Amino acid sequence: MLRMVRNLSLALAEWAEKHAIKLEFIQPDKPAQNAFIERFNRTYRAEILDFYLFRTLNEVREITEKWLSEYNCERPHESLDNMTPEEYRQYYYLAGISKNAWN
């Protein structure tokens, strides 16, 4: 799934259909409908997009790749019981443990 703004281009819609990706929309001015990605986007904007002056698209990609690695593998997230996303994934998904004690 991919969160989109209202003015979706035809090219993107065709690409998504070709790759079996379902596009979903949130209502305008309702960021709570997708709070996790809204939080991620805010953090990415503050720490990368608003912080650097990029010269090339490759520079954006390189800095983003490094930031994503840190974000997912090194930085604890309060919403994940102060685990990194990678630690959380390994603990709850790879180990087959339900955080809701359903297993």
> 77 pairs with which residues across the strands?
83
Checking if the pLDDT of 10 tops 70, the result is yes
Signed CA dihedral, 6, 9, 12, 16: sign only = positive
pTM summary value = 0.63
Phi, psi of 77 (to 5 degrees): -115, 125
Q: What is the pLDDT of residues 45-103, one digit of tens each?
A: 999 999 999 999 999 999 999 999 999 999 999 989 999 999 998 988 876 665 555 54
> 24 pairs with which residues across the strands?
3
Checking if the pLDDT of 1 tops 70, the result is no
Checking if the pLDDT of 9 tops 80, the result is no
Q: Which of 70, 88, 68, 91 is nearest to 78 (CA)?
A: 88
Q: Where are the beta strands (DSSP E) in 21-84?
A: 23-25
Q: Which amino acid is at 72?
A: N
CB 82 within 8 A of CB 76: yes
**How far, in Å, CA of 21 to CA of 13, rounded?**
9
